[in-house]
Structure 1
Amino acid sequence: MSPPLAQVPIGTSTGTPVLLLQHFRGGLDNWDPLLIDGLATDRPVILLDSVGVSGSAGEVPVTFEAMADFAADVVRVLGLALVDVVGFSIGGAVAQALTFRHPELVRRLVLLGTIPPAGDMSEAEAKVLDVVMHPDLTLDDYLYLFFGRSAAAKQAGREFWQRRHQRTTDYDPEATPAVGERQQQAVVSWAQWPEADRDAALQAVTQPTLVVNGDHDIMLPTVNSHLLAKHILNSQLIIYPDSGHASQFQCPKAFLAHLRQFLDAEVVFS
């Protein structure tokens, strides 16, 4: 199997590297340049396409645990002893699995719009399952899936769409629906954890953890962010108002300030 594709590192050569793990069918260029550029001013930033996603060859693993093991392999191949991990959506599930299975590699953990094992999907909108599998996701798809419902939220979504399409050459290929089908198998496997095992795994996380979401996540409902913050003892929860699944893209300047404060603090939550 071919190794994952990573854009590594960008930014400076000093500071704790930040490893970013992307959402369902997302690739390197699905991140917000405002976020990446803001992080890269004073630390190395690693954007990772896991095996089989976008520009990375191979077959997509069907569990988040296997994806986490590949991410750990990448960190070690790069010769890094410790990273800060930022995971969005299913990338947040991979980030959790990475912390469960390879805790020695993770200094701080950031979970964006994501779900724990055996999460609560009762408030998810059924339409999401159809939209996320569209062969080519449009602006309207993104506005529906990722952003709040007000005019201001939709305008923030349009501004994000413009930012993420600034790159016109060497663009990371869009992931196919076949990638999504494999990733969906990982979602199903994640949901099958016993709740007692989930609670024990989360309570064993000792890394400082920042949990972030919008107040109306229709994909991985916001209740899951509350669940993560409840069971990860050394954690803080931020809920952005009038925001959806990708609150960090809707409120990028506020989120970047919160993220940098979290990553840079000598003593977190003091």
Structure 2
Amino acid sequence: MTDTHLTAPTRFIEADGDRFAYRRWGNAASGQPPLFFVQHFRGGLDHWDPLLTDGLAEGREVILFNGRGIASSTGTPRSRIEDLADDIALVIRALGLLQVDVLGFSIGGMQAQEVALRHPELVRKLLLLGTGLRGGDPTMAPKVLEIAPNPVPTAEDFLYLFFGRSDAAKKAGLAFWERRHLRADQDPPSSAAVAQAQAQAHAAYFAPLSGENPYAYLNAIKQPTLVLNGTNDIMIASINSWHLVQHIPNAQLLIYPDAGHGAQYQYPERFLKHAIQFLEEKA
């Protein structure tokens, strides 16, 4: 029987004294590198959309990953984006992989950038979804700081944080919410320590940079990069996506209408087509 998002077993790999949780399935015979997923604030293995993970798995292997101390992984949560990125590189190598494509969402997108900067040989392509950049614009809606730390987010929380404001956007959000809860053995929620560490990492990463062109460091990312956001990301301001594509030499930008932080979940069929086209283009 072929594994899917709902059936792929949670596995663990030991590295640097801790056990990192992951799930891996898909088309291993495709000739494409595995697609390595890095999740949003506090998110675990079951915060991804099965429509997207299974759709992408038809053309390659996919690997969902929990960082150190996150959800079902063990260890002390990291409080620096750079350390989170180094852990990703550690696990990629521990899995015996020479190169992967990396999809990072929100704080996961920041980690994906740092993997490409610090361990460029491991990364073929980047997909950066609803994310920011080092020294970027930290503006967020004030209500975000009230809702995002909720220990057990509700459907209403996700609708506010991730989706647009129209009735169609809310309908798409509730459909995503239903899909992401389909798996019977859900990954456990992340601890308060994870929330605290990741909030610290996020704040430090957005500290202002000096210089005439503070984002010039992104010129070192040579990998083909797809950046996605909605028109109004209230968590990580959409303008950050523009800064990313202006400074990563081989980057392209998609902005989905009436959408916010989780644009890929509001338009999953559209994003699936865009992501597959990008991943299968010759670099």
- Whether these two folds match at TM > 0.5 is yes
C-alpha contact 1:88 1:112 (8 A) present in aligned 2:
yes
Q: Per the alignment, in what secondary structure is the counterpart of residue 74 of structure 1?
A: helix
Question: 2:251 matched to which residue of 1?
Answer: 235
| Structure 1 counterpart of 2:236 | 220
Q: Distance in 1 between matches of 2:216 and 2:237?
A: 22
Structure 1 counterpart of 2:50? 33
Shift of 1:198: 4.9
Secondary structure of residue in 1 paired with 2:215? helix
Residues in 2 aligned to 1:12 and 1:258: alpha-carbon distance in whole angstroms: 19
Q: Which amino acid aligns with 1:143?
A: L
| Number of the residue aligned with 2:264 | 248
Q: What pairs with 1:66-77 in structure 2 (closer than 5 Å)?
A: 66-77=83-94
> Cα deviations across residues 121-165 of structure 1 (Å, max 9, x unaligned)?
23x101101211111100000000000000000000000001001
Kept after mapping to 1: 8 A contact 2:71/2:190? yes
Question: Out of 92, 109, 132, which is 1:115 matched to?
Answer: 132
Q: 1:79 to 1:206 in 2, by over 3 A?
A: same
TM-score w.r.t. length of structure 2: 0.91
The alpha-carbon distance between structure 1 residues 190 and 33, as it changes in their structure 2 partners (threshold 3 A), is same
* CA contact 2:53–2:62 (8 Å) conserved in 1: yes
Aligned residue type for 1:24: F
Aligned residues of 2:68 and 2:77 also touching (Cα < 8 A): yes
Residues 91-121 of structure 1 show CA distances to partners (whole Å, capped at 9, x for unaligned) of 0000011111000100000100000001112
What amino acid does structure 2 have at the position aligned with 1:127?
K
The Cα offsets for residues 28-76 of structure 1, whole Å up to 9 and x where unpaired, read as 0000000000011121111000001011111111001001001001110
* Structure 1 residue runs without a partner (length 5+): none
Any idea what SS the aligned residue of 1:84 has? strand
Question: Which residue does 2:120 correspond to in 1?
Answer: 103
Mapped pair 1:156 → 2:168: no
Structure 1 length as normaliser, TM-score? 0.95
Alignment of 1:140-219 (within 5 A): 140-168=156-184, 170-192=185-207, 194-196=209-211, 198-219=214-235
- The letter of the residue matching 2:127 is V
Alpha carbon RMSD of aligned pairs, Å? 1.2
Q: 1:161 to 1:111 in 2, by over 3 A?
A: same
**Aligned to 1:24, what secondary structure does the other structure show?**
coil
Contact 1:83–1:106 (8 Å) recurs in 2: yes
Does the CA contact (< 8 Å) of 1:116 and 1:198 recur in 2? no
C-alpha displacement of 1:178:
2.6
Distance in 1 of aligned mates of 2:250 and 2:26: 28
Number of corresponding residues:
264
